[in-house]
Amino acid sequence: MRYRRLGKSGLKVSEISLGSWLTYGGHVEDAAAEACIHAAWEEGITFYDTANVYRRGGAEEVVGRALAHYDRDDYVLATKVYFPMGDGPNDKGLGRKHIVEQCERSLQRLGVDYIDLLQCHRFDKGTPLEETVRALDDLVTQGKVLYVGVSEWSAEQLDEARAIGERLLLRPMISNQPQYSMLWRQIEQSVIPTSERLGIGQVVWSPLAQGVLSGKYSPGEQPPADSRAGAGDEVSGFMGWLMTDEILGAVQQLRPIADELGVTMSQLAIAWVLRQPNVSSAIIGASRPEQVRENAAASGVELSDDVLARIDAAVGAVALTQTPQG
Is residue 7 a contact partner of residue 201, using CB atoms and an 8 Å limit?
yes
Is residue 47 a contact partner of residue 18, using CB atoms and an 8 Å limit?
yes
Close Cβ partners of 88 (under 8 Å, ≥ 6 residues apart): none
E strands along 21-171, which residues?
47-49, 76-81, 115-120, 145-150
State CA 146 to chain mean position distance. Answer: 19
SS3 274: helix
What distance in Å separates the CA atoms of residue 48 and residue 163, rounded to the nearest whole number? 29
Catalytic residues: 54
What distance in Å separates the CA atoms of residue 18 and residue 157, rounded to the nearest whole number? 26
Report which secondary-structure segment, H or E, holds 76. Answer: strand 76-81
Nearest-10 crossing angle of helices 96-110, 58-67:
40
> Hey, what amino acid is at 325?
Q
Strands 145-150 and 115-120, sheet pairing: parallel
DSSP bridge pairs for 193: none
Strands 115-120 and 76-81, sheet pairing: parallel
Q: Which of 215, 216, 324, 209 is nearest to 273 (CA)?
A: 209
DSSP bridge pairs for 16: 282
